[in-house]
């Protein structure tokens, strides 16, 4: 018996060392190396809290042209590579776990900004933050959001958390519980890039969703596709029937914007109504929007973007 056990142990050792040798000898591809370097740089930048900044894109009420909110979009000003888009570094941050401190930084900066803008507007203007799966799965996420809201004296209803359909479908029981906690204190939950994931209509019933953001791929094919238009119309109607607000992302032209109007969509977030901007430009944009609406109410101005 003893000798069989010993033999098995030897086999195990051999397999393990063979596997490890294989792993060690796998050549590092240039892409893998570049990823690892970026991860190292990200770790260093985060330790110094340097290089990460938020851009803000306005969300505009389609019928009044008022800025109803903003989406905080992360950028990384890399010391050598210049400004990097989130599509480049968010996947690395997610894979390495750095998304947790990075996500924390985003919530912090976004709340700081909306706190600063609160004095400029006399209506509830929201700030949306993208949340990745790893952040949401972190057990202390909800508590940490609540703590930051209190710290910055921001009413919870001014914060929107954007989650994707795939995240909402993962671990539904946990997701529902956590979302309920956030929703109960007034934080708004948005489904981002709606229509591109694998959510079922069931999730729209079970989850406390406040807003649907229809992915920009739909508006981009809309003018050429009758079916595309019908699907978009159905999504807007579904959202409204369920008492949700609906945004169509990605309107870039007057023609796109007219589609949003025709479909009775609530809000636009696209290049036509405002690109993502740095903080100073966004503040200026907000001040101009307030001034424009004041003139409109005095009857001195027609609303722009009217078709």
Q: Using the rule CB under 6 A, which residue among 51, 53, 78, 86 binds ligand C2E?
A: 86
Pick one of 188, 211, 216, 245: the residue that binds ligand C2E (CB under 6 A).
216
Selected from 90, 142, 145, 168, the binder of ligand C2E by CB under 6 A is 90
Total interface residues for ligand C2E by CB under 6 A? 21
Query: How far is 55 from 125, CA to CA, in rounded Å?
Result: 16
Is there a contact between 165 and 197 (Cβ–Cβ < 8 Å)? yes
Interactions with ligand C2E, residue window 263-302 (CB under 6 A) = 269-271, 276
- Asked whether position 132 contacts ligand C2E by CB under 6 A, the answer is yes
- DSSP state, residue 272: T
What are the tokens at 295?
A: 């003139």
Site for Mg ion in 164-223 (CB under 5 A): 192-193
Nearest CA to 194 out of 183, 185, 203 is that of: 203
Query: Which two three-digit tokens encode residue 123?
Result: 């209506």
User: Under a CB-based contact definition with an 8 Å cutoff, are residues 160 and 211 in contact?
Assistant: yes
3-state secondary structure of 79: coil
The answer to whether the CB of 272 falls within 8 A of the CB of 254 is yes
Q: How far is the CB of 193 from ligand C2E (least distance, A)?
A: 5
Q: Of 4-63, which residues contact ligand C2E (CB under 6 A)?
A: 57
Residue 59 contacts residue 247 (beta carbons within 8 Å) = yes
Using CB under 6 A, which of 117, 193, 245, 265 touches ligand C2E? 193
* CB 128 within 8 Å of CB 72: yes
73 binds ligand C2E (CB under 6 A): yes
Contact status: 160 vs Mg ion (CB under 5 A): no
* Whole-angstrom distance, CA of residue 142 vs CA of residue 163: 14
C-beta of 293: minimal distance to ligand C2E in Å? 22
- CB of 220 vs Mg ion, minimal distance in Å: 13
**Binding-site member from 130, 175, 199, 289 for ligand C2E (CB under 6 A):** 130
Nearer to ligand C2E, 300 or 307 (CB): 307
The angle, 0 to 180 degrees and rounded to 10, between the axes of the packed helices 99-118 and 141-151 is: 30
How many of the chain's residues bind Mg ion (CB under 5 A)?
4
The residues pairing with 83 across neighbouring beta strands, listed in sequence order, are 77
If residue 254 lies in a helix (H) or strand (E), which one and from where to where?
helix 254-262
From the list 3-11, 20-28, 86-94, 226-234, the region that binds ligand C2E by CB under 6 A is 86-94
Query: Which residues sit at the interface with ligand C2E, rule CB under 6 A?
Result: 57, 73-74, 85-87, 90, 106, 130, 132, 162, 192-193, 216, 249-250, 252, 269-271, 276
Query: Which residues sit at the interface with Mg ion, rule CB under 5 A?
Result: 130, 162, 192-193
């Amino acid at each position: 018996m003893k000798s069989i056990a010993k033999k098995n142990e030897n086999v195990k050792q051999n397999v393990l060392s063979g596997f490890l040798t294989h792993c060690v000898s796998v050549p590092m591809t240039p892409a893998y190396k570049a990823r690892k370097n970026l991860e190292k740089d990200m770790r260093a930048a985060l330790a110094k809290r340097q290089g990460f900044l938020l851009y803000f894109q306005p969300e505009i009420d389609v019928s009044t042209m008022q800025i109803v909110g903003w989406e905080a979009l992360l950028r990384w000003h890399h010391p050598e590579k210049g400004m990097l888009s989130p599509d480049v570094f968010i996947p690395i941050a997610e894979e390495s776990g750095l998304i947790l401190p990075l996500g924390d930084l985003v919530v912090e900066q976004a709340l700081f900004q909306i706190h600063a803008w609160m004095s400029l507007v006399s209506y509830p203007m929201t700030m949306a933050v993208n949340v990745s799966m790893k952040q949401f799965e972190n057990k202390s996420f909800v508590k940490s959001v609540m703590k930051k809201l209190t710290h910055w004296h921001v009413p919870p209803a001014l914060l929107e958390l954007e989650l994707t359909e795939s995240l909402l479908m993962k671990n539904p029981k946990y997701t529902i519980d956590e979302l309920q906690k956030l929703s109960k204190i007034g934080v708004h939950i948005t489904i981002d890039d709606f229509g591109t994931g694998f959510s079922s209509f069931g999730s729209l019933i079970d989850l406390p969703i406040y807003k649907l953001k229809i992915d920009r791929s739909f508006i981009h094919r809309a003018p050429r596709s009758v079916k595309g238009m019908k699907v978009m119309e159905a999504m807007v109607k579904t959202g409204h029937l369920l008492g949700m607000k609906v945004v169509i992302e990605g309107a870039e032209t007057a023609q796109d914007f007219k589609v949003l109007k025709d479909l009775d969509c609530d809000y636009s977030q696209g290049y036509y109504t405002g690109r993502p901007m740095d903080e100073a430009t966004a503040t200026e944009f907000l001040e101009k929007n307030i001034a424009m609406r004041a003139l409109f109410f005095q009857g001195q101005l027609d609303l722009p973007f009217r078709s």
